[in-house]
Structure 1
Amino acid sequence: MFALVMPVPQPDNPSMHVPASDRWTAVDLDHLPENGLRYEVLNGQLVVNAAPKPIHQWMVRELVRVLELAVPEGHFVMLGVGVLIGEDEPIPDLMVCTGPIPWDGRGIPAEQVKLVVEVVSRSKAVTDRLVKHGLYAEGGIPNYWRIETRRFKRQLPEETLPVIFGHVLADNGEYEGLYRISAGHAVTIRHPFELTIDPAILMP
């Protein structure tokens, strides 16, 4: 998987949609081609991602299965859909949201999203750990999970991958760590809803 930040194209380049200002917006995504790439708007920049690797999608699928058995009534697990945060539209690997779902809309409004999850890949590590972390907090999304799948800085010697980092939005508008679960340990969490999970089950 790769991530590419695209500058705003010049008006004399007819091959690409030109946004109305020097910043991309979620509305601009409606004018881009459906070509198998994933387009996001992060802090006014267009970010283009190639299709993820099979292992990434396997882990996302397994997590969807786990979450669908645990989410309360009236909550929905969605994947591959953008979150509308002002004029930005990040696309988490999956989210848990409440209805009513705007089925024909551009994405899911941030106020309906209760949890976003990012499975960190090598090419998007900075985006997943820092850029989106800040955007989700700005959007007021109460829970953010980051799943590390490769060796990472400050990984503990006894930790086995993957590792789930659970964050909750604090009163100051920033995320604070709530739990850290490594593979081989089945842990019951009670926020944002009760769930027992061992990250090892996400692996093939």
Structure 2
Amino acid sequence: MAKVLDRPTERPSKEDLRDELVRRLPEMCEQWPDRRVELINGRIVVRELPTDSHNNIVFWVLTQLLGTVTEHGWKIWNDIKIHLGPQTERYRPDLTVVPRNPRMWDKNEVYGDVTLLVVEVVSPSSVNDDHVVKPQNCALAGVPLYLVIDAFDEQVRLLSSPSLKGYQQENIVKFGGSLKLPEPWNLTIDTDELPEG
């Protein structure tokens, strides 16, 4: 189950709150080294450890992407923060595909607009964040492709064409169907073998 840390009882300014959250984030990462700690929508969120079914889906995605990633000399990272620009959000997707030498904000944070694909596997505590909050901010940061695998709704959702208003294109495929990733991928993902959540 996800935990949202208590917010201060006084009403600090938005800038003070943002600065405090950014300051506290590394402390929380150290305090919860075996958990996923993210800054989402003005909250520090500590997520539970992934389940075996979650990990099986992540493995399935890796097997689908690995050939194309290897062919292009790209990398798949499973635990990197996405730098989304001046907003305070700091996401750690389940998988992030980056070019061989991506532009980095620091050693633990890659710029969103240089990623090639961000993948989120929905957990019970992350449904709204994975489907609503994160895509909005990833689009603003220029993340080109945002893939959501939702075993609860038995669907795969690909968002593309980022803009200031969010992603302009959405393609949803029910489990068992095929999903085509656009340029530079030219890859069709077959969801027939996708493990159940």
**TM-score band, normalised by shorter chain:** 0.7 to 0.9
CA shift, 1:117, in A, is 1.2
Superposition pairs for residues 70-81 of structure 1, below 5 Å?
70-71=68-69, 73-81=72-80
Output the amino acid matched with 2:26: D
2-structure distance, mates of 1:109, 1:174: 17
Output the amino acid matched with 1:31: E
Task: Tell me the residue number matched to 2:98.
Answer: 97
The count of aligned residue pairs is 183
Task: Tell me the residue number matched to 1:198.
Answer: 190
Structure 2 vs 1, CA of residues 170 and 131 (structure 1 numbering), >3 Å: closer, same or farther?
Answer: closer
Output the amino acid matched with 2:128: V
Task: Tell me the residue number matched to 1:64.
Answer: 62
Output the amino acid matched with 2:34: G
Task: Tell me the residue number matched to 1:156.
Answer: none
Normalized per residue, the structure richer in strand is: 2
CA shift, 1:34, in A, is 4.3
Spell out structure 1 runs of 4+ moving beyond 6 A.
Answer: none
Find 2:156's aligned residue among 153, 164, 169. 164
2-structure distance, mates of 1:74, 1:179: 26
Normalized per residue, the structure richer in helix is: 2
TM-score, normalised via structure 1 length: 0.77
The percentage of aligned residue pairs carrying the same residue is 26
CA shift, 1:191, in A, is 3.9
3-state SS, counterpart of residue 61 of structure 1: helix
Task: Tell me the residue number matched to 1:111.
Answer: 113
Superposition pairs for residues 1-204 of structure 1, below 5 Å?
2-8=1-7, 21-23=16-18, 24-25=21-22, 28-32=24-28, 33-71=31-69, 73-86=72-85, 87-101=88-102, 105-151=107-153, 161=154, 163-203=155-195
CA shift, 1:127, in A, is 1.0
CA shift, 1:173, in A, is 4.3
Q: Kindly provide the CA deviation profile for residues 60-101 of structure 1, in whole angstroms up to 9, marking residues without a partner as x.
A: 111012111123524211112211113321111111112425
2-structure distance, mates of 1:140, 1:134: 10
Q: Kindly provide the CA deviation profile for residues 3-51 of structure 1, in whole angstroms up to 9, marking residues without a partner as x.
A: 22213468xxxxxxxxx932312x5432232431211011332111010
Unaligned runs of 5+ in 1: 11-19, 152-160
TM-score, normalised via structure 2 length: 0.80
Task: Tell me the residue number matched to 2:12.
Answer: none
CA shift, 1:187, in A, is 4.7
Q: Kindly provide the CA deviation profile for residues 169-193 of structure 1, in whole angstroms up to 9, marking residues without a partner as x.
A: 2455421334222222345443451
Structure 2 vs 1, CA of residues 111 and 135 (structure 1 numbering), >3 Å: closer, same or farther?
Answer: same
Aligned-CA RMSD value: 2.6
3-state SS, counterpart of residue 72 of structure 2: coil
